Copies of this chain bind each other. A is one copy, B any other.
Amino acid sequence: MVVTVKRKAHFNAAHRLFRKDWNDERNFEVFGKCSYPNYHGHNYEVVVSVTGPIEEETGFVIDLNELKKIIKDEVEEPFDHRNFNLDIPEFADLNPTAENITIVIYNRLRPHIKGVLNLSIELHETARNTVTYSG
């Protein structure tokens, strides 16, 4: 019996959409006000989905307290109150679009989830903009 469990987490962070190899005009042309130089920010909501069989002993797919701790250590603690462009190593040369942030979260969590379990990440950047990635 294959079941999906989801755990929601959140963090508040700043970013701007910006490619270092483009000048400001080109960045503004493509990314609009998302490229303003002094950054803006979001209350990011992350929904982490893990899919797999139920363990007969516990009735769990994965212990949600364990999943909560993994998300806290790998995503909430390092990202909360930080600036994606300046503080997070993966974005040193990567544009912190919602798409790319979602993939980075996936890559951070994947090694901590058993290989038999599928992983999917949903990132709500605003109440109207969402991204999902499943590897």
Which positions in A face B, CB cutoff 8 Å? 1-10, 12-15, 17, 30-34, 36, 38-43, 47, 54, 58-61, 63-65, 80-83, 86-87, 94-100, 102-103, 126-133
B6 A129 Cβ-Cβ under 8 A: yes
Interface of A is mostly: mixed
* A11 nearest CB neighbor, chain B only: B40
Report the 10 A-B pairs with minimum CB-CB distance, sorted nearest first: A41-B41, A38-B83, A59-B97, A6-B130, A33-B81, A59-B95, A40-B81, A8-B128, A14-B14, A14-B41
Q: How far is the CB of A94 from chain B (nearest CB, A)?
A: 7
Determine the chain B residues whose CB is within 8 A of the CB of A13 once the complex forms: 40-41
